[in-house]
Homo-oligomer: A and B are copies of this chain.
Amino acid sequence: MSTPLFEPRAVNFVDRVRDSFARQGAMQTLGASLGSVTPGAVDIEFPWAPGLTQQNGFLHAGMVATALDSACGYAGFTLMASDAAVLTIEFKINLLAPAKGELFRMEGRVLKPGRTITVCEGRAFAIEGSQEKLVATMGCTLMAVTGRDNIQG
């Protein structure tokens, strides 16, 4: 996916993403690490692990969704104002092939940023040796929220 050029509103958008990512217990459970973080585009990677599987040993669709949701959410977050937190309103995922691989890379990309509503797309790739395969796509709607005490970053 090519990504249009977006202008971040918060100069420290990379730090904001890294800080929030570090607070997500789910990302630690996935063994996930942040890859590239640029305006409107965030990548997340993690290795296969037995605790992330469905009944045939492939990555559970929900774990694919977990990583894609974080990739999309943080892609949107890169463009939000410095007092805004990000919430996912909804997402849809299409599983194109069994998520079978040693390593997984998730790409979150902003399609349309907005003051309140941001729409993103995500793609999940399974990597095995030198092979990389598209295994899932996500469409995702985010909301920027401000002024709620218990919701930050």
Contacts and interface: CB of A to CB of B under 8 A. Distances in A.
Contacts of A25: 49-53, 60
A88 interface: yes
Given A26-B60, A55-B153, A94-B139, 4 more contacts: A29-B52, A56-B150, A56-B151, A137-B139
Interface in A42-82: 49-56, 60-63, 65-70
A116 interface: yes
A117 to B, nearest CB: 6
Interface of A: 20-21, 23-26, 28-29, 49-56, 60-63, 65-70, 85, 87-98, 111-112, 116-117, 119, 121, 134, 137, 139, 141, 143, 150-153
A92 B151 CA distance: 24
Contact of A91 (B56, B61, B89): B61
Contacts of A87: 95, 98
Contacts of A68: 62
Contact of A121 (B69, B98, B137, B153): B137
A13 to B, nearest CB: 15
Nearest to A94: B90
Contacts of A116: 116, 143
